[in-house]
Structure 1
Amino acid sequence: MEHSHIAFDSRWIGPHGIGRFATEVQDRLNFTKLFDGAGNPASFASSVRLGRWLAGSGAKALYSPGYIPPSGSRLPFVFTIHDLNHIDVEHNSSALKRLYYQLIIRPAVHRAEQVLTVSEFSRGRIVEWAECDPDRVTVVGNGVSDIFHAQVVPMQPGYAYFFCCSNRKGHKNEKRLVQAFKLSGLHRDCKLVFTGNADVELQQLIAREDLQDRVLFTGRLSEIELASWYRGAIATVFPSLYEGFGLPVAESMACGTPVITSEVSSMPEVGGDAALYVDPHDSDSISMAMLAVAGNTELSKQLCARGLVQAQNFTWDRTAGLVSTALARLPLH
């Protein structure tokens, strides 16, 4: 699939959620006119820079895999709003971000030929917030990279562990997970492993709960290492308070590992009937689910089997195909 007349904002490509989406879509759709200007694609000036570049690019339209639209350009465009966490999640928001969404992104939702998003949850929020026609917003989903599969060599660190693929942002709900881990008593038999590096707040909580040698951090991981950590875990625990999609849920299932996740936002959509759901605001709920999976081989096997089936719903080929279909409707004059 090639879209030679459509420009692509390639600044989003990188080692993060939107970066993964951008990479996989570009790999399949082979855009040839790429905007790779320096600087953060999410900055205030970014939209203007994109619009200026577009005017002289020779392209007939633009597709952006991220949420920044082109300003000052009359060319038709499609862009992707993965979620509204900069509005919905208090600690990811600020007066400046809210202003940007109000002044730049909301009008762009009405100007765009189509807005793409990754879940029905996000679609509902975008339609409600922007007060736009629901037909303007199309769900293209996310995919699971081929690196995540059940034949991955499991990580064997010499101890049993629960795994949380996360970062230190507040909505990831890590503090409550640490408290639930302590509450469960499981720290006597196994460990809790987080991706990335600890921050001061989390370290202080871990020390207060006397879990210094029971809660560990992997540092930065390659995707192959990440797949191994998923594969070797008793379960992946992902008690996030808000996700546009929640890729760790699908990735972990693809590796044949049980998933415990939140009953809110997009997680039930991604997990289907294959995850064990918790109230992410309740440490007891999280700890009970961890105990249930750790203590019940039958439940664990059932979650694994269902998860392998559920993960097959999320392929990058499918996502790229849906993006391509949306772009095929662009009016290219």
Structure 2
Amino acid sequence: MKQLKKVFFNMSMTNGSFNGVEIYSLKLKDQILQTKIFNAVFLYIKRTRFLSVYRLFWNFFIMPILVRRQLVYSFSSHGSPFIKNQIITIHDLICFSFPAQHKFQFYYFKYFIPIIIKSSKKVVAISEFTKSEILKYYDIPNDKVVVIHNGANRLRYDENEDDEDEFLKISGNIPFFITVGASYIHKNIENQLKAIALLGNLDVNFIIVAKKNAYGNYLRQMAKELGLKNVIFLHYVSENLLSKLYKEAICNIYISSYEGFGFPPLEAASMNTVSLVSKIEVMKEILGDNAIFVDSSSPQSIASQIKAIYLNRNKLDMYKSGFDDLLNKFTWENAGKNVMNLIENTIN
């Protein structure tokens, strides 16, 4: 019986936070486990205080001892300058646009990533836009960067009494827009709140899912100061309740000033809901004609689009016709196959 080649997978970003990189890692792990192409070994790190510092130390010095000369594939940008047989994944370079928001990441990407890139066989980018950012900030050959798009998280709503009651409590049977993942400054929620203030007495609510972190608390205070009684902040909702909120929303608002890919518009599409998104390159790349675009730097433009959507909801159907093709393009099965192909080509 032919012995399968051993491939290590760096899972050091899976620490229970369930951020985008952790979800990405777990989704691709599921795809890899469904195949028998490699002898896959998944490497985890323990949760500890000062996790970011420990993760850096583990990747640099402990992981090389564990993998030796075998190939290690990282689902994140974490790797080691002491491993020559590795592939890393860069999701975005947002830290260069918002260094104050991501101070630790800024120094990591500025001083450590160039060294790790040099010792990597390939660098995976999750979008063409992210690839263009990598080529912009680092001295790296074009063909060393491989684009493998994320999969879309296809949501579904399983009706149950508890979530129905919670939905009614949140929505109050009033039409609403939804915004998800509004926990960091690049999500541009300040301009969204300014736009809502310009709408005056429009009979609609705005549900914003935002952590109670420093930025989330700042947004709550800003909404209070603007007198926005129709803005409802949620710290956390279950995936099932989130599916219901997407499903019943007039529209999903996702006007980030920077993204590496962007999950929420595809999640909304899986619940047949159209998104209002920023007119930025990555949104055009991922969503094509299946979203409404807006100049997210202008509260006036945002307000105008929101009002137009609210008054002409029947026109949203024209954007939904391409949802099936959109969601079939971005699947975790496709992403998994592309990862496998890259590993096979690298090994060979």
Q: CA RMSD in A?
A: 2.4
1:107-256 aligned at under 5 Å gives the runs 107-146=115-154, 148=155, 157=171, 158-185=173-200, 188-198=202-212, 199-212=216-229, 214-256=230-272
Q: Match of 2:6? A: 5
Contact conserved, 1:239 with 1:280, CA < 8 A, in 2? yes
Structure 2 distance, partners of 1:104, 1:200, is: 32
Q: Aligned partners of 1:262 and 1:3: how far apart in 2?
A: 46
- AA in 2 matched with 1:159: I
Q: Which whole-Å CA distance do the structure 1 matches of 2:4 and 2:206 have between them? A: 45
Q: Which whole-Å CA distance do the structure 2 matches of 1:142 and 1:71 have between them?
A: 26
TM-score, with length taken from structure 1: 0.89
In 2, the alpha carbon distance for the partners of 1:4 and 1:92 equals: 41
Unaligned 5+ segments in structure 1 are none
Higher deviation after alignment, 4-13 or 20-29: 4-13
1:193 aligned counterpart, secondary structure: strand
SS of structure 1 residue aligned to 2:182: coil
1:12 partner amino acid: M
1:92 aligns with 2:107: no
User: Whole-Å Cα distance in 2 between the matches of residues 26 and 127 of structure 1?
Assistant: 28
* Partner SS state of residue 347, structure 2: coil
Amino acid at match of 1:70: S
Relative to structure 2, which stretch is displaced further, 303-312 or 131-140? 303-312
Contact 1:89 1:242 in 2 (8 A): no
Q: Quote the Cα distance in structure 2 between the aligned partners of 1:59 and 1:111.
A: 13
**Larger CA deviation: 172-181 vs 38-47:** 38-47
Equivalents in 2 of 1:27, 1:257: separation in Å?
Answer: 27
> SS in structure 2 opposite 1:116?
strand
Q: Structure 1 residues 42, 125: closer, same or farther in 2, change over 3 A?
A: farther
Verify: 1:22 aligned to 2:36, yes or no: no
Does the C-alpha gap of structure 1 residues 197 and 46 become closer, same or farther in structure 2, counting only changes over 3 Å?
closer
Residue 329 (str. 1) matches residue 345 (str. 2) = yes
Cα distance in 2 for residues equivalent to 1:309 and 1:181: 32
Q: TM-score normalized by structure 2? A: 0.86
Please tell me whether the aligned partners of residues 265 and 274 of structure 2 are also in contact (alpha carbons under 8 angstroms): no
- 1:2-81 alignment, distance < 5 Å: 5-13=6-14, 14=16, 15-30=18-33, 32-39=40-47, 43-50=52-59, 51-57=61-67, 60-74=70-84, 76-81=85-90
Paired AA for residue 123 in structure 1: K
Tell me whether 129-138 or 103-112 shows the greater mean CA deviation.
103-112
Asked if residue 292 in structure 1 is aligned to residue 292 in structure 2, the reply is: no
Distance change in 2, residues 1:182/1:6 (3 Å): same
Aligned counterpart, 2:331: 315
Larger deviation: 252-261 or 82-91?
82-91
Matched, 1:270 2:279: no
Closer/same/farther in 2, CA of residues 3 and 257 from structure 1, 3 Å limit:
farther
Number of matched residues?
325
Contact 2:178/2:253, CA 8 A, preserved across alignment: yes
Q: Identity rate of aligned residues, in percent?
A: 21
Residue by residue over 1:276-295, the C-alpha shift from the partner in whole angstroms, topping out at 9 and shown as x without a partner, is 10111100111111112111
Q: What is the CA-CA distance between 1:58 and the residue it aligns to? A: 6.3
Contact 1:6–1:59 under 8 Å retained in 2: no
3-state secondary structure, aligned to 2:24: helix
**In 2, Cα distance between the equivalents of 1:203 and 1:231?**
25
Deviations 1:26-85 (A, max 9, x none): 0011274222112479724534412423423467110110111124234x0011000101
Please say which of residues 230-239 and 37-46 is displaced more in the overlay. 37-46
In 2, Cα distance between equivalents of 1:107 and 1:16 = 26
8 Å contact from structure 1 (residues 192, 216) kept in 2: yes
